[in-house]
Amino acid sequence: MSDSGPFEIAGRTAIVTGAATGIGRGIAEHFARAGANVLLCDVADETGRAVVEALAAEGLEAQFVAVDVSEPDAGLILTRIALERWGSLEILVNNAAVQVEKTIEQTAPEEWDRLMDVNFKGVYLCSRAAIPAMRDGGGGSIVNIASVNGFWVEPGLGAYCAAKGGVITLTRSTAADFGRDGIRCNCICPGYVDTGMAGRYLDSQPNPDAARSEVARLHALGRVGEPGDIAACAQFLASDAAAFVTGSAFVVDGGLSLGVVARPDSK
Confidence band, pLDDT 50/70/90 cuts, at residue 1: very low
List domains and CATH numbers for the chain: 13-250 (3.40.50.720)
Confidence band, pLDDT 50/70/90 cuts, at residue 207: confident
Q: pTM here?
A: 0.92
Query: Phi then psi for 117, rounded to 5 degrees?
Result: -65, -40
Question: Using CA atoms, how far apart are residues 37 and 126, in angstroms rounded to an integer?
Answer: 18
pLDDT above 70 (res 256): yes
∠ Cα 40 42 43 (to 5°): 155
> How many residues can be counted in the chain?
267
pLDDT digits (tens, 9 = 90+) for 15-31: 999 999 999 999 999 99
Query: Phi then psi for 202, rounded to 5 degrees?
Result: -65, -35
pLDDT digits (tens, 9 = 90+) for 160-199: 999 999 999 999 999 999 999 999 999 999 999 988 777 7
**What pLDDT, on the 0 to 100 scale, is given for residue 267?**
44
pLDDT above 70 (res 3): no
Mean pLDDT rounded to a whole number for the chain: 93
pLDDT digits (tens, 9 = 90+) for 119-150: 999 999 999 999 999 999 999 999 999 999 99
Contact 77, 128 (CB under 8 A): no
The single-letter code of the amino acid at 252 is V
Lowest mean pLDDT among 47-61, 72-86, 170-184, 249-263: 249-263
The residues carrying an active-site annotation are 160
Q: 222: phi > 0 → left, psi -120 to 50 → alpha, else beta; which?
A: left
